[in-house]
Chain A
Amino acid sequence: MTMKSSTRQVDGVTIVDLSGRITLGEGSVILRETVRDLLSKGQKKILLNLGDVNYIDSSGIGELVSAYTTAKNQGGDLKLLHLTKKVHDLLQITKLYTVFDVKEDEAAAVKSFSK
């Protein structure tokens, strides 16, 4: 039920592999702290892999928006990778699909970050 997060580096991009639920409480807190920690360490090219995120609520959506705007405000960039159908549909109905840069292929996503 809870969310797990792990990070890895690929060509200067930090890929955050998330799994579980991003919801009010622990899931949202883990995402927030992970992104803030990366930005504080100067890792400003962030790719959130949501392939194993099977559930997200409005708090989780808000946390994704917060992560995106925080990264942008610090001169970084944050993109999304491998959306599940549920998350894809949620971003569609909330019109956030056009806000986020959503990628389907990891290698292409990594290359898409400016050098």
Chain B
Amino acid sequence: MSADHVSYTLDSTLETVNNAEETAGRMAAEAGFDDEEIMKISMAVREAAVNAVLHGNAYDPSKKVTLAFERTARDFVIIIRDQGKGLDPGKIPDPLAPDNLLKTSGRGIFLIRSFMDVVEIHPSQTGTELRMIKHVHGNPADSKEAPQ
């Protein structure tokens, strides 16, 4: 597979969440992933888009979400950036902790980490960049970052 890169600049709307999910599913299918993996990738992207639109940009119409896909011989890489205050990875509660099980939110990052092979969170003063990788079939997978 040759390197392939595409990126989108999107509004901070619910429509962006749905579009990101659909685009991820389509591109994952084109990359040759099976139905199960396509579902996981598209759901991870949906959760990341929800974080960017809802928690990062807080639906602010002046703030944008950047969604980028990159296909290499080894990896399917997805990067989502928002223009929010910056997500502190150290402050993400464990949704599996007994005290958090019945909370109605806080599972998005956990699901992303469950579904993708590598997840990196890069917060800054200008927003948060979430980098997700799914290894392409037939290639040895690197060790999974932040296993749950």
Contact A94–B107 (Cβ < 8 Å)? yes
Which residues of chain B come closer than 8 Å to A25, judged between CB atoms?
14, 17
> B115 to chain A: closest CB distance in Å?
9
Kindly report which residue of chain B lies nearest to residue A69, judged by CB atoms: B102
Kindly report which residue of chain A lies nearest to residue B148, judged by CB atoms: A93
A93–B104 CA distance with the chains assembled, in angstroms: 16
Contact A59–B50 (Cβ < 8 Å)? yes
Kindly report which residue of chain B lies nearest to residue A63, judged by CB atoms: B104
Query: Which of A23, A58, A62, A68 has the largest count of B CB atoms less than 10 A from its CB?
Result: A58
B95 at the interface (CB under 8 A from A): yes
Number of interface residues of B (CB under 8 A): 22
A61 at the interface (CB under 8 A from B): yes
Contact A61–B102 (Cβ < 8 Å)? no
Main secondary structure of the interface of A (DSSP, over half): helix
Main secondary structure of the interface of B (DSSP, over half): helix
Contact B111–A58 (Cβ < 8 Å)? yes
- Chain A 1-20 interface mask (CB, 8 Å, partner B; 1/0): 10000000000000000000
Q: Contact residues of B with A, CB < 8 Å?
A: 14, 17-18, 39, 43, 46-47, 50, 54, 95-96, 101-105, 107-108, 110-111, 114, 148
Q: Given known contacts A65-B103, A95-B101, what 12 new A-B pairs fall within 8 Å (CB)?
A: A1-B18, A25-B14, A25-B17, A58-B108, A59-B105, A61-B107, A63-B104, A68-B102, A86-B39, A93-B111, A94-B95, A96-B101
